Structures are given as structure tokens and as C-alpha cells.
Amino acid sequence: MILEVDSGSPVPPYEQLRAQIADLVAAGSLPVGHRLPSIRQLAVDLDLAPGTVARAYRELESAGVVVSRVRHGTTVAAAPEPVESGAAAALLEQAAAAYARAVRRAGASQDQAVAALREKLAPADPPEALA
């Protein structure tokens, strides 16, 4: 699971984290039952305060995206609530911005970035061509 928090963003870090995890769940990248990192571990990994990660997890739990249990950690819930269209657009915008930053850091061209994105968006098993 790759998460990124932009300290220069006007969006609070907990919200960036919440949105990215919700997006990964909605996209199926985090399957039902997948265990998320502990609050402390994710805080260390992202150089955030544990309270920031805890708030993101609480918000995800309130939305039904994850379930937190003592001694079992936080896992992806069995039936995440659907994302509203406005929220989906906001998640897409944030993901696109993060991808653009990663492309720039990698020194890749726009054509390379678009090709990589198209490859990842292509269905795993493309339907056979219609005759």
C-alpha cells in the first residue's frame, strides 16, 4: 500500500490519508479483510503524528470503509459504503495530483506517464474483440 501525504497541500493530512485509503478500497486495491498498518507504524512510515493517523482511521470507520478491533487492528470492511459522485471526483483529483508529482520526481515524460496510466487502467482480462 503506497500512501503519500503532501505537507504543502491545503488539505489536512488526516483527510489526505483518509481519501487515499478510501480510494484504494473503492478501487479494489485493498480487498475485504486486508489489514491496514497499525496507527503507530503508519505514523512512523509517513512521518505523521499518531493522532493524525488515528483520526483518518476513525473517519474511515465512521464511513463503514474499515473496521477496528482491539488486538486485531484495522481491516477493510466487508461492505464499504459507496462513494458519492462529488467525493469520487475529489478523490480522483487528489490521486491525479499525487501521480503528477510522482511523474515529475521520476523525470518521466507526459507520454510515458499517460502510457503507464493507460496500462494500469486496462482491464486485467480484456474482452475479446467483437467479430
DSSP state of 29: S
Distance CA 58, CA 89 (A): 22
Whether 90 maps to a domain, the answer reads: no
Per-residue pLDDT, 49: 97
Per-residue pLDDT, 75: 95
Whether 8 maps to a domain, the answer reads: no
Q: What are the tens digits of pLDDT across the range 72-114?
A: 899 999 864 566 677 777 888 888 888 888 888 889 999 999 9
- The DSSP string of 48-117 is --HHHHHHHHHHHHHTTSEEEETTTEEEE-SSPPPPPHHHHHHHHHHHHHHHHHHHHHHT--HHHHHHHH
Distance CA 41, CA 122 (A): 33
Whether 69 maps to a domain, the answer reads: yes
Whether 95 maps to a domain, the answer reads: no
Domain interval for residue 58: 13-76
**Beta-bridge mates of residue 35:** 75
Residue type, 81: E
Who's near 82: CB < 8 A, 6+ residues apart? none
Q: What is the domain-level CATH number for residue 35?
A: 1.10.10.10
What's the mean per-residue pLDDT of the chain?
Answer: 86
Who's near 23: CB < 8 A, 6+ residues apart? 91, 94, 95
Per-residue pLDDT, 124: 53
